[in-house]
Structures are given as structure tokens and as C-alpha cells.
Chains A and B, each alone.
Chain A
Amino acid sequence: EVQLVESGGGLVQPGGSLRLSCAASGFTFSSYSMNWVRQAPGKGLEWVSFISSTSSTIYYADSVKGRFTISRDNAKNSLYLQMSSLRDEDTAVYYCARVLNRGGLDYWGQGALVTVSS
């Protein structure tokens, strides 16, 4: 069974940093590209970042470019999102999701809540 489990969420002050992790199991993690997607409270979904299976290709949404860094460790079946210079508007549930080619995100984690507030 495919499972994605996020961790590392919490309360952080504006300007602070936080690192999210996503532990993958039930599939060959090193064969799949991964995305981070977020959802602000009561709002819609927003694509955040993409990383290819070998980490050779990485992209970010304009809203997080220069502040967030996506990475992965295929030996540990883990995906990461390092977030810095956090702003109030980064408050959201952050989901990791497996990329099905470019046509969809077929498995999602349960999400990790990040709250940016003083």
C-alpha cells in the first residue's frame, strides 16, 4: 500500500524557518517525481514545488521561489521542504504528492499544518 506521511509542521514566527519531511513507503520512491502542494485555511489548493526522481530537475512557484528549497533522499525514501523567511501567507496545510507522469498527482499524504504567526 502506498503511503506518504508528512511531519515537521508547527507554529513559527514570521521570518522564521521550518523543515517539512515526507516519508514514503509501499512503492519504489526513487522512480517517482514528487510535488509539494499547500492549502491555506478555507482556501483552494496551490502547487508549491516539483522535484524529479533523481533531483536533477527542480521547480518552484513564484510565491515561494528563493525562500523554499525542495530536496529528497532516495536512500531514506524521504522528501523534504526547507522553508525560510516565512510569511503570514505561508500558513497552510502542506501536502506531499506523488507525480503520475505530468498528468496528475495520484497519491497524497495526510498533510502537515504550518502556522506562521507572532
Chain B
Amino acid sequence: QSALTQPRSVSGSPGQSVTISCTGTSSDVGGYNYVSWYQQHPGKAPKLVIYEVTKRPSGVPDRFSGSKSGNTASLTISGLQAEDEADYYCCSYAGSYTWVFGGGTKLTVL
């Protein structure tokens, strides 16, 4: 149950796009199409923004998109807005009803 690997921080200017990577193994990210992404603002609960690698819950802007290649998943946020500044966590199903999270990435909107 080792944590998935994410960059500690990323940044971008308003209107730009940023991509956050999430690297695991063939036992988690690479083995299942069950990667999800969460946005967390300071002092708040996490919010689901992507599930099953590419799907967006109702109410999440289409500026948020997800993808996966091999053992690495990615979250792309296009048309950056000030309110996107937050911590982002990836999560993968790891079999036998267990899940593993990434260490988190702080997104700064310059």
C-alpha cells in the first residue's frame, strides 16, 4: 500500500493549462480503470472532480479532464481560474476493496 507519486506543486497563469501526473504500479493505476481525482481547498473536505479515469461528476466544469497511460494517470485543468487554486489528490483502486492515494499536489494560480 505505497502512496502514488504526484509532483509536490504545479503552477500556471489564469487561462493557461496545467497537468498533474500520478504514478503508481501495475497493481493499482495500471491494473484498473478506477483512478479518481479530488480537489481540496484549505480547511474543506475533498471534492471528487474525476472518476473512472476520465469521467466528470455532474457540476464539475469540462475544464477538468483525466487520462491514463500505463501506470501513470493525469489530471489536466484548462483555462485556469483563480478558484482552481487548491490541493489535488489522485486515488486508485488497488484490488480487494482497498484504495491508495497520491501524496497531493498544490496548484498555484499565478
Contact residues of A with B, CB < 8 Å? 33, 35, 37, 44-47, 50, 52, 57, 59, 61-62, 95, 100-111
A105 and B36: CB pair below 8 A? yes
A105 and B48: CB pair below 8 A? yes
Give the number of A-B contacts (CB < 8 Å). 72
Q: How far is the CB of B2 from chain A (nearest CB, A)?
A: 11
B91 and A45: CB pair below 8 A? yes
- Number of B residues with CB within 8 Å of any CB on chain A: 28
* B100 contact set on A, CB distance < 8 A: 47
A106 and B51: CB pair below 8 A? yes
What are 9 sample pairs from A and B whose C-beta atoms fall under 8 A apart?
A44-B103, A45-B38, A59-B96, A59-B97, A95-B46, A102-B93, A103-B34, A104-B48, A104-B50
Nearest opposing residue in chain B for A109, CB measure: B45
A47 and B101: CB pair below 8 A? yes
* A109 contact set on B, CB distance < 8 A: 45
Contact residues of B with A, CB < 8 Å? 1, 3, 32-34, 36, 38, 45-48, 50-52, 55, 57, 89, 91, 93, 96-104
Candidates A46, A95, A103; contact of B45 at CB < 8 Å: A95
A35 and B48: CB pair below 8 A? no
A44 and B3: CB pair below 8 A? yes
Nearest opposing residue in chain B for A62, CB measure: B1
Q: Which of B3, B38, B55 has the most CB of A within 10 A?
A: B38
* A106 contact set on B, CB distance < 8 A: 48, 51, 57
* A61 contact set on B, CB distance < 8 A: 1, 98
* B55 contact set on A, CB distance < 8 A: 103
A103 and B101: CB pair below 8 A? no
CA distance A97 to B62 in the complex (A): 24
Nearest opposing residue in chain A for B94, CB measure: A47
* B91 contact set on A, CB distance < 8 A: 45, 47, 104-105
Nearest opposing residue in chain A for B93, CB measure: A102
Q: How far is the CB of B90 from chain A (nearest CB, A)?
A: 10
* B50 contact set on A, CB distance < 8 A: 104
